[in-house]
């Protein structure tokens, strides 16, 4: 971990009028939920391009639920890690106004962040595509998966955005507003290749924000959009930044 960059990030956060975070699957890896692109279990078995499309859900929901069930079980068992907890602490200190996340695991809210924009929806609620019935997914048990609609008995779909589905309009509007008005952006654990989510750092940069990237490896944003990359695990880097902020505030 590069201490000079930790210090630079803390300084940028303290000098920024409005700091926001944009997070991806990488921030939840240390909570036990594998990301897409690193070579790991779940997504080796289930190609998202094959399983996470809305067409696949319509034509073969049973097949898609084999993947969803494993994802659900991981999410049900997951707890916020020091990276999520550090972001919640920044919010409590008045230094983070929102978190725009591509994740669907609810871990930012579990950590205590109150202004979370879920760009790709959430696993916490499920809907019936036939009759629009909605249920709370947090009360589901592993034995009750996959859940069926109590009205028409169709297989329910978690309210996550599948490939081929639109981004929830409220999330689009709110994230555009947040990124335009930010003066610093923390981009954490995203490969920044899924569009339109990946436009968020570009919008922030165009508006003059300092873009601080935290990732295990460089991404297409590095050297193009990011002012600098702090390379390493989010679970180590975020708490280190929070500590440095506290030290500098005195």
Q: What is the closest distance, in whole angstroms, from the C-beta atom of residue 146 to Zn ion in the complex?
A: 14
Pick one of Zn ion, ligand NAD, none as the site partner of residue 54 (Cβ within 5 to 8 A by kind).
none
Cα separation of 209 and 9, whole Å? 13
Return the number of the residue (133 or 172) whose C-beta is nearest Zn ion. 133
Cα–Cα distances in Å, from 182 out to 11, 22, 61, 204? 16, 11, 40, 6
88-147 positions binding Zn ion, by CB under 5 A: 128, 130-131, 133
CB-based contacts of 23: which residues, under 8 Å, 6+ apart?
Answer: 87, 99, 100, 101, 102, 103, 108, 188, 189, 190
Question: Taking the complex as a whole, how short is the minimal distance between the CB of residue 151 and ligand NAD, in angstroms?
Answer: 28
The residue among 197 and 245 lying less far from ligand NAD, judged by its C-beta, is 197
Residue 120: active-site member? yes
Could you give the 3-state DSSP secondary structure of residue 227?
Answer: coil
The residues of the shown chain that bind ligand NAD, judged by CB under 6 A, are 24-26, 28-30, 33, 35-38, 102-105, 120, 189-191, 194, 214-217, 219, 233-235
- Minimum CB separation of residue 213 from ligand NAD in Å reads 10
Q: Which is nearer to ligand NAD, 33 or 149 (CB)?
A: 33
Q: Nearest 5 degrees, angle CA 9-CA 118-CA 86?
A: 35
> In 3-state terms, what secondary structure has residue 206?
helix
**Contact partners, residue 143, CB within 8 Å, separation at least 6:** none
36 binds, among Zn ion, ligand NAD, none (CB under 5 to 8 A by kind): ligand NAD
Catalytic residue among 84, 120, 123, 151: 120
Distance CA 28, CA 245 (A): 23
87 — phi, psi (to 5°)? -65, -35
**Shortest distance in whole angstroms from residue 166 CB to ligand NAD:** 14
- Binding segment (CB under 5 A) for Zn ion, from list 6-14, 106-114, 116-124, 152-160: 152-160
Provide the binding-site residues for Zn ion, judged by CB under 5 A: 128, 130-131, 133, 149, 151-152, 154
What are the catalytic residues? 120
């Amino acid at each position: 971990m590069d201490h000079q960059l930790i210090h630079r990030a803390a300084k940028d956060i303290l000098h920024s009028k409005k700091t926001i975070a944009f997070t991806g699957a990488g921030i939840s890896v240390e909570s036990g939920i594998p990301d897409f692109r690193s070579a790991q279990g779940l997504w080796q078995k289930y190609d998202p391009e094959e399983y996470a499309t809305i067409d696949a859900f319509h034509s073969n929901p049973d097949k898609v639920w084999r993947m969803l069930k494993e994802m659900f079980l991981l999410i049900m068992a997951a707890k916020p890690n020091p990276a999520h907890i550090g972001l919640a602490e920044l919010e409590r200190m008045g230094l983070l106004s929102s978190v725009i996340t591509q994740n669907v695991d609810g871990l930012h809210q579990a950590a205590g962040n109150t202004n979370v924009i879920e760009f790709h929806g959430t696993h916490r609620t499920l809907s019936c595509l036939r009759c629009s019935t909605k249920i709370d997914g947090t009360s589901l048990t592993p034995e009750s998966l996959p859940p069926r609609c109590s009205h028409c008995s169709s297989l329910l779909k978690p309210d996550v955005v599948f490939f081929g589905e639109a981004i929830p309009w409220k999330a689009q509007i709110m994230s555009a507003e947040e990124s335009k008005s930010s003066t610093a952006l923390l981009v954490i654990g995203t490969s920044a290749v899924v569009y339109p989510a990946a436009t968020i750092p570009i919008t922030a940069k165009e508006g003059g924000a300092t873009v601080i990237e935290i990732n295990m490896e460089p991404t297409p944003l590095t050297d193009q959009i990011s002012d600098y990359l702090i390379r390493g695990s989010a679970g180590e880097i975020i708490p280190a930044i929070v500590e440095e902020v506290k030290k500098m505030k005195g």
